[in-house]
Homo-oligomer: A and B are copies of this chain.
Amino acid sequence: MTSKIAIIAGVGPGTGASIARKFAKAYSVVVLARNPDNYNGVVQAIKASGGQAIGIQADVSDSKSINAAFDQIEAQYPSSNVAAAVFNPGGGFVRKPFLELTEEDYATALASQAQGAFNFAKRSLPLLLKARESAEYPPTLIFTGATASVKGSANFAAFASGKFALRALAQSLAREFGPQGVHVSHTIIDGVIDIERTKGFKFDHPDAKLSPDAIADSYWHLHTQPRTTFAFEMDLRPYVEKW
C-alpha cells in the first residue's frame, strides 16, 4: 500500500471531523482524540462513503501517548506518505477571573495547546519532510488558532497563553521548514463554531456561527498552495462577528 495519509489530531464533532471528511476525499485519514467517542462517528462515516479512516486514542499533551500513536501510524502505513498533518485539539479552554484560575488550569492550557503541539510537530515533521518527493502538493502542517491567539482578553489568561504559544511555535516552524518545502500554516478561528454543543447559542443574525465544513475547505485550500505561494496565516470569522 502506497497511498497517502493525513493525520488530524483533535477530532471531535466539529472542525476536526469536517477536516477529516474533506481530506478523506484524497487521502487515508488517521484521526486522534483522547476519547474514541469523539472520532468513532467520523471514522464510520468516512468508511461508509468509500473512504479510508482509522482512529487512534491519544492525548497530545502526553508525549508517550502521542509517540505511541505515531509508532502505530508508522507500523500500519509503512509505505505511505504523510501529505498533511493538522493540529486541532480544543483542550485547555477556561474562562475565569485570574485570581480564581488554578495553577492546574494554567498548566493544562499550556500542556494542551503548546506542549501538545510540540509533541505533535516533533513526530509529524520528519514524516512530512520524507513525503516531499512524491507529494502532489507540498506536505502541510496546519495549526488551529483562535481569537485568543492574537488577543489576551480579560479572563482568558490561561487559554490565550496556550494559543499565543502555539502561534509562536507555528511561526518558528514555518520559518524553519518552509524553506525545506514543508508548508506550515496557522489559522485564527474567530467566532463560535456551529456544532451540536453550540446549538443553544443564539444570535440576532442568521449564519452567525462558523461552518466547520467551510473551515475545512480553507484548510484544504492551504494544503493545495504551491511552494511559490504559501499562506502562513488566515483568519476566519462569521460576517457579523465583531473584531
Contacts and interface: CB of A to CB of B under 8 A. Distances in A.
Contact of A234 (B171, B183, B234): B234
Given A114-B165, A125-B99, A227-B239, A176 B155 contact: yes
Where chain A touches its partner, the secondary structure class is helix
A239 B182 CA distance: 8
A218 B228 contact: no
Given A97-B176, A98-B121, A152-B168, A218 B231 contact: yes
> Quick one: copies of this chain in the complex?
4
9 contacts: A114-B165, A151-B171, A152-B174, A154-B175, A160-B172, A211-B228, A214-B228, A221-B221, A232-B237
Interface of A: 63, 97-99, 101, 103, 106-107, 110, 114-115, 118-119, 121-122, 125-126, 138, 148, 151-157, 160-179, 181, 183, 194, 205, 207-211, 214-215, 217-218, 221, 224-241, 243
